[in-house]
Structure 1
Amino acid sequence: MNTTELTRRLHAIRDTNNWQRFHSPKNLAMAANVEMAELVEIFQWKSEDESRALPADELAHAGQEIGDVVLYLLLLCAELGLDLDEVVRAKLADSERRFAR
């Protein structure tokens, strides 16, 4: 995933629609949270087995919501001056150090 290119494309959409004034770190974090809640809603009241075998339409919907969450996180990283690849790699390395046996 080329996060630089994705961020450039997101910023083009943002700028075309004059949304920059809404893209504060606070608002982007809240928007990512709302999208995450929409993802959680897909799984609400499903059993463990049902959650692993979503029908095609629900699986597609889950993919859309995951995409929304990731894109908002990308915008949040850009606003904070963080590189998504770097923060994910650093967190993975920390998890490997702490939990890999």
Structure 2
Amino acid sequence: MDLDQLTRRLREFASERDWDQFHTPKNLAMALVGEAGELTEIFQWLTPEDSARIMEDPATAQEVQNEIADVFAYLLRLADVLGIDIAAALTGKIALNEVKYPAALARGTAVKYDKLRTEH
């Protein structure tokens, strides 16, 4: 299923339940942050090594998958309500980041783009 099909499916899901009245940009953004928090909670207090192995436990892997799906669903729904082509928005953002973070300067460093040229 592609992004357009997923977006339509979520739109139909909300419409069939008369939830459009609740799916305001503010509410969807807040729900998105809440779900991202639930995803973050799974990783809270894990070591970097434990977090890298999180998908090895089937029950935890299912939790992670469900929370990622929730985050994605709210993000798609928010983009739909706002009339944003999420694939085009991401494509544009990648192009901007390619300018902000030239590979020759950014390779192997987590330095923010506005510090890259002054520190390296």
Take 1:42 and 1:96, find their aligned partners in 2: how far apart are those partners? 31
Matched ranges for 1:18-33 at <5 A: 18-33=18-33
Q: Which amino acid aligns with 2:18?
A: N
Q: Structure 1 length as normaliser, TM-score? A: 0.94
Matched ranges for 1:86-97 at <5 A: 86-97=88-99
Note the residue ranges of structure 1 that are not aligned, 5 or more in a row. Answer: none
Q: In the TM superposition, what is the alpha-carbon distance from 1:57 to its structure 2 partner?
A: 1.4
Q: Structure 2 length as normaliser, TM-score? A: 0.80
Q: In the TM superposition, what is the alpha-carbon distance from 1:56 to its structure 2 partner?
A: 2.1
Note the residue ranges of structure 2 that are not aligned, 5 or more in a row. Answer: 105-120
Q: In the TM superposition, what is the alpha-carbon distance from 1:68 to its structure 2 partner?
A: 0.7
- Partner of 2:38 in structure 1? 38
Take 1:93 and 1:57, find their aligned partners in 2: how far apart are those partners? 37
Note if 1:5 corresponds to 2:2.
no
Please identify runs of 4+ aligned residues in structure 1 that moved more than 2 A: none
Q: In the TM superposition, what is the alpha-carbon distance from 1:70 to its structure 2 partner?
A: 0.9
- Partner of 1:52 in structure 2? 52
Take 1:74 and 1:37, find their aligned partners in 2: how far apart are those partners? 17
Take 2:47 and 2:95, find their aligned partners in 1: how far apart are those partners? 32
Q: Percent identity?
A: 40
How many residue pairs get aligned? The number is: 101
Q: Which amino acid aligns with 2:12?
A: A
Note if 1:64 corresponds to 2:49.
no
Higher relative contact order (Cα pairs below 8 Å, separated by 6+ residues)? 1
* SS of residue paired to 2:92: helix
Q: In the TM superposition, what is the alpha-carbon distance from 1:97 to its structure 2 partner?
A: 1.7
- Partner of 1:76 in structure 2? 78
- In our comparison, the structure showing a higher alpha carbon Rg is 2
Take 2:7 and 2:89, find their aligned partners in 1: how far apart are those partners? 15
The alignment's C-alpha RMSD in Å is 1.1
Take 1:26 and 1:5, find their aligned partners in 2: how far apart are those partners? 24
